[in-house]
Amino acid sequence: MSERYYAPVVHVADAKDAGRMLRDVMRDRLGVSRRLFVRLKQSEEGLTINGERAYPSYRLAEGDIVEFRMEQETSEDIYPQPMELDIVFEDEHLLVLNKPAGIIVHPTTGHYMNTLANGVVHYWREKGEMCRFRPVHRLDEDTSGLVIVAKHPYAHQQLSVQMMEGAVEKKYRAYVYGRPPADEGEVNAPIGRIPEDPHRRAVREDGAPSLTFYQVAAAYPCGASALDIRLGTGRTHQIRVHLGSVGCPLIGDAYYADPAWEHTELARRLNAVIGRQALHASLLAFRHPVTGEPMALQASLPADLRALEDELSALPAHLESTTT
């Protein structure tokens, strides 16, 4: 196999495949999109059966070894930049990182350096890997935690389908002012853009359906809470907007700050400990995009959130009612 290709995806034909055309098995059994299949069949080494080049109309026999390979790509528009990376999992198909707060995932207009993409592209080049940076999802700049990056189009496609189908479990740890309505519950409210500020989101009747599940992990005497969050949908700023809508804004979130809290003694004390929204993507559970193996990856709390926990545990009661 040429070094121009990623590691092959292998499928051994079984009795269900016998007599079926390769293109139908690729679509129905392996979930290969039409667009990707076109790329594969046009590639010299893209599709093989038992080591020989195969064609879409080939009818499979039980035991046939189907392999497909994607040509390697690079992110030519992303400048490689040395960066310390916290890698939670990596194989030839995907990379999962624990992103620190204060860094965006992908370059944007006017922000071409110091992104997670810059660091990953440099890391791959140092290893001699030729991969295009394909994040399956993103986190806000000031949210820490787990991010999945696919190494080739098939892995990205398969993980994106899981995302759309709600088959990827995402859990977050959030630290908020106040107490939610119950120790365990959900916020089911549509989220949309605010016309006057298109970057900001709010609960709106004309918004997209949005669902957030929460459970109180700790109720601190000072009037703050730690919540474990699970997402039913994946809207922009969903956790920040939903928690704020029930009177529990994220600690340290200047963009969605609640006036009822921001001038309290509690806010003054906590702002001295943490300078970003207190939100961490702690767990991702999904099926491996190639092997189908169930995966559950976790990222422990970063130092600033551990310090916040210590401060919340130490603060006296009823600071939320004291203004500065």
Higher pLDDT pick, 173 / 39: 173
Q: Would you say 149 and 115 are in contact if contact means Cβ atoms under 8 Å apart?
A: no
What's the count of helices (H) and strands (E) in the chain, helices before strands?
A: 8, 16
Dist CA 287 CA 47 (whole Å): 24
Q: Render pLDDT for 199-223 as a digit per residue (tens, 0 to 9).
A: 899 999 999 999 999 999 999 999 9
The pLDDT > 70 percentage for the chain reads: 97
Over 50: is that where the pLDDT of 113 sits? Answer: yes
CA–CA dist 280, 306 (Å, integer): 11
Does the annotation mark 183 as catalytic? no
CATH numeric code, 169-321: 3.30.2350.10
Q: Is 216 exposed, middle or buried (0-12, 13-18, 19+ CB in 10 A)?
A: middle
Place of tokens 């767990």: 283
- Measured CA to CA, the distance from residue 254 to residue 61 in angstroms comes to 61
274 has which bridge partners? none
As a whole number, mean pLDDT of residues 287-306 equals 96
Q: Centre a 10 Å sphere on the Cβ of residue 280 and count the other Cβ atoms it contains.
A: 26
Domain boundaries, the chain: 9-68, 87-164, 169-321
- pLDDT above 90 as % of the chain: 74
pLDDT digits (tens, 9 = 90+) for 22-79: 999 999 998 888 888 888 888 777 888 998 888 889 999 999 999 988 888 887 789 9
Residue of 299, 282, 277, 95 whose CA lies nearest to 170: 282
pLDDT of residue 9: 87
> Could you say which of 17, 64, 140, 142 is catalytic?
140
Instruction: Tell me the backbone φ, ψ of residue 323, rounded to 5 degrees.
Output: -95, 155
The pLDDT value recorded for residue 301 is 96
Fold exhibited by the domain 87-164: Pseudouridine synthase (3.30.2350)
Can you tell me the distance from the alpha carbon of 293 to that of 283, in angstroms, rounded to the nearest whole number?
Answer: 16
Whether the CB-CB separation of 121 and 80 falls below 8 Å is answered with: yes
Q: How confident is the model at residue 1 (pLDDT cuts 50, 70, 90)?
A: very low
Query: How high does pLDDT run on average in the chain?
Result: 92
Q: Do domains 87-164 and 169-321 have the same CATH topology?
A: yes
Tell me, what amino acid is at 265?
A: E
pLDDT at position 50, please? 94
Query: Domain 9-68 maps to which CATH number in 3.30.70.1520, 3.10.290.10, 3.40.640.10, 3.30.450.20?
Result: 3.10.290.10
pLDDT above 80 (res 244): yes
Q: Over 60: is that where the pLDDT of 273 sits?
A: yes
> pTM score > 0.75 for this model?
yes
